Amino acid sequence: MPGSNMSDQLKDRVAVVTGAGRGIGRGIALILASRGAAVSVSDIDGEAAGTVASEIEAAGGRAHSGTVDVTDPVSINDWTASAISHFGAIDICVPNAGVIGAAGFTERRDYTADDWRLTWGVNVLGMVNTADAVMPHMKERNSGKIVNIASHGGRAPRGVQDPGRGSVQAPYSVSKAAAIQWTHHLAMELGRYNINVNVVCPGRLWTPMWESIALNHKALNPDLADLSAREIFDLTIDATMPLGRSQTPEDIGKAVAFLASDDAAEITGQALNVNGGAIMN
C-alpha cells in the first residue's frame, strides 16, 4: 500500500530544526530522521545539538549540526547556508527554538521587561529570522514546508485550573499567540510558491521548560511546598486534560512529520493542537 511504510514518509527530504538540542526540538529531530529525512540540528548549545546529531547517525540516519542563535540573523543565515551546502537543499524548516522567560523566572510572580524582551526576541523574532533564512531557497525551488512550533498557551488564556499560574507567564503566552498569527500571514504570502506553512501547538510535556514552570508554581504557592516539580506537573495534567496524560516530544514530532509530508499537501495556515484535549479549537 503506497505510503504505508512510515520510515519512508520523508525519504530524500532535508529538514532543519532550531532549538533541537533537547526537549521538544530533540523529539522532532529524532522523529523526522526516523521517517527518512536528513536533519540539520541546531541549538544555541552547540554541544547538545551535536549529541542529537550523533544519535541520529547512530541509528543509521543522516545529520548535520551547528551552534545557532536564532535572534541573530547572521547566525541563522550562516547555518542555513551550511545545511544547504552539506545536504544540497532544504525541504522542511521547523522553527522550534523557544524560551519561557528571563533569568529568575522560577521565583517571580510578575513579569519583567527582560521577560518580554527575551520571549519576543526568541519566540517571535527568532521564528521570523529562521523563516527569512530559508524562504529565498524555497521560493527558488517552488517547494517547501515550514512547520512552526508555538504552544496551546497562545490559543486561549488559562487561569484558575492551573495551580499557581501568575502573570509571569504572560510574555510567553503572548509570544506564542504572535507565532500563530505569523504562521497565518506567512501561509498567505508563500502559498503562490507552493510552500505550506503550519504551526503545531504543544500542550504540556515534561521538559526542562515545564519543570521551570512547575518550580515557579512551587515558589509562589505554599500549598505546593511539599510537592516535587514533577508532582505539580502531574496535578495540572489531571486537572486539565480529557485524555488524562501529558504529551511527549515524540508526539509533537509525529505531528510535525505529518505536516511536513505529502499527505498534508493541501493543508496550510493551520494551527494544530497536540495537547490531549486541554484546549479545543
* Residues catalogued as catalytic: 172
For residue 132, give the amino acid letter.
Answer: D
d(CA 35, CA 257): 8
Whole-number Cα distances in Å, 191 to 94, 196, 200, 243: 17, 6, 18, 35
CA distances from 268 to 148, 190, 259 (A): 12, 10, 9
Range list of H helices, 13-163:
23-34, 46-58, 73-87, 113-119, 126-141
Contacts of 192 (CB under 8 A, 6+ apart): none
Indicate the residue type of 46: G
Nine-digit cell string for 7: 520510515
Alpha carbons within 13 angstroms on the beta-carbon side of residue 68 total 36
SS3 content of the chain, % helix, strand, coil (to 5): 50, 15, 35
Return the ∠ at Cα 161 (arms to 155 and 164), rounded to 5°: 100
CA-to-CA distance for 243 and 169, rounded, in angstroms? 24
CB 268 within 8 A of CB 188: no
Return the CA Rg of the chain.
Answer: 18
